[in-house]
């Protein structure tokens, strides 16, 4: 074992660090190697509950973390890509998949960690292809993992003989639920059930705890691993919360069943009857626990999904959808286009509201306003996607004249979407920068920004009206040209203040000029349709 004259506490922490670093390295490399397979697996989650469990096992094997998989499912739920009923089986599968890493580390291959690291570091160093490099990184990650496990074991052997630590372990043995709580908190902190169970393996191998005590560490690790998804669900929509809490309830109820005394005692005796190492016994206990839990809850997937959906119902503000579109109802192309026009104008109204509120971002650091801007941009993205697909579907069935009209509608819709992105990404970033640095525009500069903003709103309103009233296109273009001249004048005014050495203008110069450019760009995007309609 490595001895660098460190205290055993440092060795213990170093072991945990090596373990977690190795798991992260292996996980990231496996994810890169299997990226295409992950997308393929996710596309199959709704086929059947059995297949969903297989997908959960496979994803957890690839990502080496049930928490990472459920966090990914929370993200997909927040994006309205999946529903809870589709992925309930995946959640159960992730629990089984998480046992594979524990099974692997139970073989205690620490003595092979350094030789394996040397071999695959050489492969990584000499390889040119990314696939080979990622393959080498997988084994390097597991080498660090086993090296960390060896350090944890060495520290555990030392502390097993320390009187004060022995007294602490006696306290845990007399109150095993405290072991469950400690392991649960530790797992929530390190975000790894495998690392938590690895610590329990080290203590058990050193004789500090028994198999019975170690099983409470297993229980705690299974509940603690749900913290990753619960944190990811903060601020998400109802589907994201449903996925995260379904994972928590599944794990907690599973542990509650196994904590029933007769059942727990029988479980420990059953696991301990096999003649094997304590490492293997703990790993087998973890595996049997999760397989048994899956078998118990599998028949209740559908009712459990319905119950959790009632516990976390859809928020009215999440119920945003296209109001006028339906692929099946509009047999008449002309009628379909008429309703699509309404959806486009609805999108334009959202963009106009974003323009109006954009200047408020520079007045105060209001996180709720930033979130509101982002939410409206997401709505614009959604309407852009749905309306475009709707229009393309009807364009393919129509004559060339109608087809050209549809293409112009899509172009305007695309310009609206790009304008919304400009506000959500570029202008919001400028505002965050200004507020974070506690900068203030000069009095003249701020007045000019407000003038530019007012003119952009005027141009935007005119451009949206011109979309439905062709005779207003020429006036819209003229107004846009006036705004371009205004932008040049305001830019020159700002440079004049810089030449005078005005401190506020110097400090905010890049933000000021970029904001003028963004407002000019937004106005240009909204007016571009007018040039083709003259």
Question: Any alpha helices (H) in 236-277, and if so which ranges?
Answer: 238-258, 261-272
Stronger pLDDT, 13 or 518, i.e. the higher one: 518
Give the separation between CA 18 and CA 311, rounded to whole angstroms. Answer: 40
25-39, 127-141, 234-248, 328-342 — which one is most confidently predicted on average?
127-141
What is the reported pLDDT for 187?
86
What does the pLDDT look like over 454-498, one tens digit per residue?
999 999 999 999 988 888 999 999 999 999 999 999 999 999 999
Percent of the chain topping pLDDT 70: 87
Confidence of residue 398 (pLDDT cuts 50, 70, 90): low
Examine the pLDDT at 80 and tell me if it is beyond 70: no
Sign of CA dihedral 435, 440, 441, 443: positive
300-311 pLDDT tens trace: 888 888 898 888
Q: How confident is the model at residue 79 (pLDDT cuts 50, 70, 90)?
A: low
Q: Would you state the pLDDT for residue 255?
A: 92
Handedness of CA 351, 356, 361, 366 (dihedral sign): negative
Q: Which pLDDT does position 1 carry in this prediction?
A: 47
- Band of residue 64 on the pLDDT scale cut at 50, 70, 90: low
pLDDT, tens digit, 9 for 90 and up, residues 406-426 = 788 889 999 999 999 999 999
| Secondary structure (3-state) at 91 | helix
Q: What is the pLDDT of residue 432?
A: 92
- The mean per-residue pLDDT over the stretch 190-218 comes to 85
Domains of the chain listed by start with CATH number: 8-311 (no CATH), 333-532 (1.20.58.220)
Using pLDDT thresholds of 50, 70 and 90, give the confidence band for residue 40: low
- State the sign of the Cα–Cα–Cα–Cα dihedral 361, 367, 368, 371: positive
How distant, in Å, are the alpha carbons of 175, 245, 293, 375 from that of 71?
33, 11, 21, 21
pTM of the model: 0.58
The mean pLDDT value for 258-281 works out to 85
Per-residue pLDDT tens for 152-169? 778 877 777 778 777 877
> Averaged over 390-415, what is the pLDDT?
74
């Amino acid at each position: 074992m490595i001895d660098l004259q460190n205290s055993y506490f440092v060795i213990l922490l170093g072991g945990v660090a090596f373990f977690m670093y190795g798991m992260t390295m292996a996980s990231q490399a496996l994810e890169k190697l299997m990226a295409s397979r992950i997308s393929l697996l996710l596309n199959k989650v709704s086929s059947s509950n059995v297949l969903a469990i297989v997908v959960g096992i496979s994803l957890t094997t690839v990502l080496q973390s049930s928490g990472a998989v459920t966090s990914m499912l929370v993200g997909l739920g927040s994006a309205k890509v999946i529903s809870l009923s589709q992925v309930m089986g995946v959640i159960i599968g992730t629990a089984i998949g998480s046992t594979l890493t524990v099974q692997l580390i139970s073989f205690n291959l620490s003595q092979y960690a350094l030789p394996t690291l040397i071999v695959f570091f050489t492969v990584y160093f000499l390889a040119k292809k990314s696939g080979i490099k990622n393959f080498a990184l997988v084994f390097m990650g597991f080498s660090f993992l086993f090296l960390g496990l060896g350090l944890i074991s060495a520290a555990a052997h030392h502390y097993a003989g320390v009187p004060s630590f022995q007294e602490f372990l006696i306290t845990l043995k007399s109150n095993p639920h405290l072991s469950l709580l400690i392991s649960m908190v530790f797992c929530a902190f390190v975000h790894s059930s495998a690392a938590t169970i690895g610590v329990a393996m080290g203590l058990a191998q050193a004789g500090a705890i028994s198999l019975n005590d170690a099983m409470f560490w297993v229980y705690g690790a299974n509940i603690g691993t749900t913290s990753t998804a619960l944190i990811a669900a903060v601020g998400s929509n109802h589907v994201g919360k449903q996925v995260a809490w379904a994972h928590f309830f599944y794990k907690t109820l599973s542990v509650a069943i196994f904590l029933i005394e007769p059942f727990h005692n029988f479980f420990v005796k059953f696991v301990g009857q096999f003649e094997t190492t304590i490492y293997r016994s703990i790993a087998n206990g973890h595996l049997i626990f999760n397989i048994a839990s899956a078998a118990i809850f599998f028949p209740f997937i559908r009712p459990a999904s319905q119950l959790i959906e009632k516990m976390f119902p859809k928020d009215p503000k999440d119920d945003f959808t296209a109001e006028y579109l339906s692929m099946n109802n509009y047999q008449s192309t002309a009628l379909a286009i008429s309703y699509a026009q309404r959806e486009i104008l609805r999108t334009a109204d959202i963009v106009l509201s974003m323009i109006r509120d954009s200047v408020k971002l520079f007045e105060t650091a209001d996180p709720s306003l930033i979130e509101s801007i982002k939410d409206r941009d997401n709505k614009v993205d959604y309407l852009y996607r749905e309306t475009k697909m709707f229009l393309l579907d009807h364009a393919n069935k129509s004559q060339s004249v109608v087809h050209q009209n549809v293409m112009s509608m899509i172009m305007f819709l695309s310009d609206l979407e790009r304008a919304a992105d400009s506000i959500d990404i570029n202008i919001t970033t400028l505002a965050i920068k200004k507020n974070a640095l506690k900068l203030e525009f000069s009095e003249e500069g701020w007045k000019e920004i407000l003038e530019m903003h007012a003119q952009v709103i005027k141009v935007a309103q005119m451009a949206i009206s011109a979309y439905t009233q062709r005779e207003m296109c020429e006036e819209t273009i003229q107004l846009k040209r006036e705004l371009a001249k205004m932008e040049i004048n305001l830019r020159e005014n700002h440079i004049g203040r810089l030449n005078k050495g005005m401190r506020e203008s110097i400090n905010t110069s890049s933000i000021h000029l970029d904001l003028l450019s963004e407002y000019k760009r937004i106005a240009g995007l909204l007016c571009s349709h007018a040039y083709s309609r003259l």
